[in-house]
Amino acid sequence: MPKGTPNNRLSSMLLLFIILIGTFLRLYQLGSNSLWFDEAISVWFANESLGNIIIKQTSADVHPPFYYILLSLWINVLGNGEFEVRLLSAIFGILSIPLLYLIVKNLFGNQPALISALILAMSPFHIYYSQEARMYSILTFCVLLSIFFMVKMLCIGEEPTQTKKTIFYSIGYVISTLASLYCHNVALLLPIAQNFFFIIFWNRHRPFLKFWIPSLLTIIILWAPWTSFFLEQSSSVGKSFYTPSLTLDSVINLFATFNNGPTYWLFNWIDVGNFSLIHGRLVLLSIIFFGFLFLIGIFYARQNPRSLVLLLLIFSVPIGTQLLISLKHSILTSQTLIWASMPYFVLIAMGITSIKNKRILTLALVLLFILNLASLYKYYNEFEKERWDLAAEYVAQNSDIREPQSNDKEDLVLFSSALGQIPFEYYFDKYDLMLEKHGLPKDYSERKMAFEDVPALENLLRNHKRIWLIYSHEWFTDPDKLSIATLEKNYCLSKSKDFKSGQSNVSCYLFETCK
């Protein structure tokens, strides 16, 4: 693996400019959108004590606790406003840009490293998750840090005089890999991909094994306490998950998302499933453009076979594993594979680097800018996250806060999505109104409502003259509309309002005793 050429002043200035672009794009309008479902759950967990996060979150969630612990420490200092909680992800997203540069510089040299950093800096996919209060941006950084330390270990591990440096990089590798594993369960595929690399090139790196094996054993020992939680969470994902069945369209959408961000959020005027010249032309153009550069990049990178194999393993092992599992239980999701997009970006950069004709090179870079900026324009100007802020405001403004008469109780607020109570309360608490709230079919249990849950719902309605139903994610939680049917049977609809967004819509229904 060749070491990168020394930075000259121009390269340093270009890298700084790229980092500034990435910083601006990740901080721009960072707090303008309301927190959506998953982000509010992040804050909900992070507001617990560190001990409660480990006890409560590990049993109620499908992710390890590292991000929530980090976010808890963060909001204890800066607060839990929209901008503040997302800033943590933005910072790690920014730091990923120079880190990717350093990795690629060690693997392939300075020019591919600069182009890789530029692609990452402008990636709508990465920008979106750098502006979300979830673990995916931090996961990407931790994975890149693990790869960086691995590459540095490989570069000097065979030089006897560099033992101290190799030990230092080994420690860094252990810490960053463990951080990845405790950030997201899918990161387990990272050390698997890395070890496949050593299996393939074991003879070439035989002297290095005296550093690698202790590092690997340390990771196994320190991750072992999480094994039972990992198995339990993996089982719960298999039983209940939002992801639709695996189709050709979902695979195409994964790579379209890598290229220009989530198509159904950012390219939301295009039907991804219809590859006609009218509806799908921009997505199709993007797939062809990036796919061609990716294949050219693989061909060009064959001059450094070990570096190429390392990239292809980190790219293909997580994607291939999710595809295989999805044949039985669909788990293919772009955000959990965000770290697998890093080698994809690098090989696209290698494809651009291979272009020697200046006109064609300029055309490729211009097209790269146009496709990314088109998505970013839609994202910044038109995309809205779930409007729980408006839903909470609407309920607060229309709630009956008078003293209830005789046996009548105050307004009851029901949530078709039981976890929807969390983002609702994030905004509703500032109105200082005390209303009774319940999730369906029961609090904080995200599952489909069934006919056997109806009696429990009817029992909740007793002695209430006014019932609010906050309706969201109904395709998953209430596909048969049992909650609405039960309310319509006992009450009359008084008011309703829909709050649409680029994600899921949130609807507020007020039912009152029929006059």
412-415, strands of its sheet edge to edge: 436-439, 412-415, 466-471, 506-512, 492-499
Residue 441 preceded by cis peptide, ω within 30: yes
- E strand map for 300-444: 412-415, 436-439
DSSP state of 203: T
- For residue 6, the model assigns a pLDDT of 52
Q: Cα separation of 86 and 36, whole Å?
A: 12
- For residue 475, the model assigns a pLDDT of 85
- For residue 253, the model assigns a pLDDT of 86
Sign of CA dihedral 440, 446, 447, 452: negative
Q: Cα separation of 207 and 502, whole Å?
A: 53
Output b/e per residue, 103-126; b: 16+ Cβ within 10 A.
Answer: bbbbbbbbbbbbbbbbbbbbbbbb
Q: Cα separation of 28 and 25, whole Å?
A: 5
Which residue intervals of 49-188 are DSSP H helices? 50-52, 58-60, 66-78, 82-107, 110-122, 124-130, 136-156, 163-181
For residue 76, give every residue at least 6 positions away whose Cβ sits within 8 Å of its Cβ, in sequence order, or none. Answer: none
Closest CA relative to residue 184, chosen from 312, 340, 22: 340
Report the amino acid identity of residue 304. Answer: N
> What are the DSSP calls for 249-305, one per residue?
HHHHHHHHHHHHS-TTTTSTTS-TT--STTTSHHHHHHHHHHHHHHHHHHHHHTTSH
Q: Cα separation of 80 and 72, whole Å?
A: 9
Sign of CA dihedral 184, 186, 189, 190: negative
Q: Cα separation of 220 and 299, whole Å?
A: 35
Q: How many other C-beta atoms can be found within 10 angstroms of the C-beta atom of residue 462?
A: 10
For residue 158, give every residue at least 6 positions away whose Cβ sits within 8 Å of its Cβ, in sequence order, or none. Answer: 205, 207, 208
Sign of CA dihedral 102, 108, 110, 111: negative
Question: Cβ-count burial of 459 within 10 angstroms (0-12 exposed, 13-18 middle, 19+ buried)?
Answer: exposed
Residue 47 tokens, joined: 């507001």
Q: How far is CA 268 from CA 95, 250, 339, 372, 374, in A?
A: 29, 16, 24, 14, 11
Q: Cα separation of 479 and 476, whole Å?
A: 6
Q: Cα separation of 117 and 181, whole Å?
A: 24
Report the amino acid identity of residue 438. Answer: H
The per-residue pLDDT string of the chain (515 residues; one tens digit each, 9 = 90 and over) reads 554 445 588 999 999 999 999 999 999 999 999 999 999 999 999 999 888 888 877 777 889 999 999 999 999 999 999 999 999 999 999 999 999 999 999 999 999 999 999 999 999 999 999 999 999 999 999 999 999 999 998 877 556 667 788 889 999 999 999 999 999 999 999 999 999 999 999 888 787 888 899 999 999 999 999 999 998 888 776 555 567 788 888 898 899 899 988 754 455 444 444 444 444 567 778 889 999 999 999 999 999 999 999 999 999 999 999 999 999 888 899 999 999 999 999 999 999 999 999 999 999 999 999 889 988 988 998 888 999 999 999 999 998 765 555 455 678 999 999 999 999 999 999 998 888 999 998 888 778 899 999 999 999 998 889 999 999 988 888 999 999 999 999 899 999 999 998 888 999 999 999 87
Q: Cα separation of 464 and 177, whole Å?
A: 53
CB 483 within 8 A of CB 416: yes
- For residue 7, the model assigns a pLDDT of 59
φ and ψ at residue 509, rounded to 5 degrees: -120, 130
Question: Cβ-count burial of 229 within 10 angstroms (0-12 exposed, 13-18 middle, 19+ buried)?
Answer: middle
Q: How far is CA 477 from CA 45, 300, 508, in A?
A: 22, 49, 16
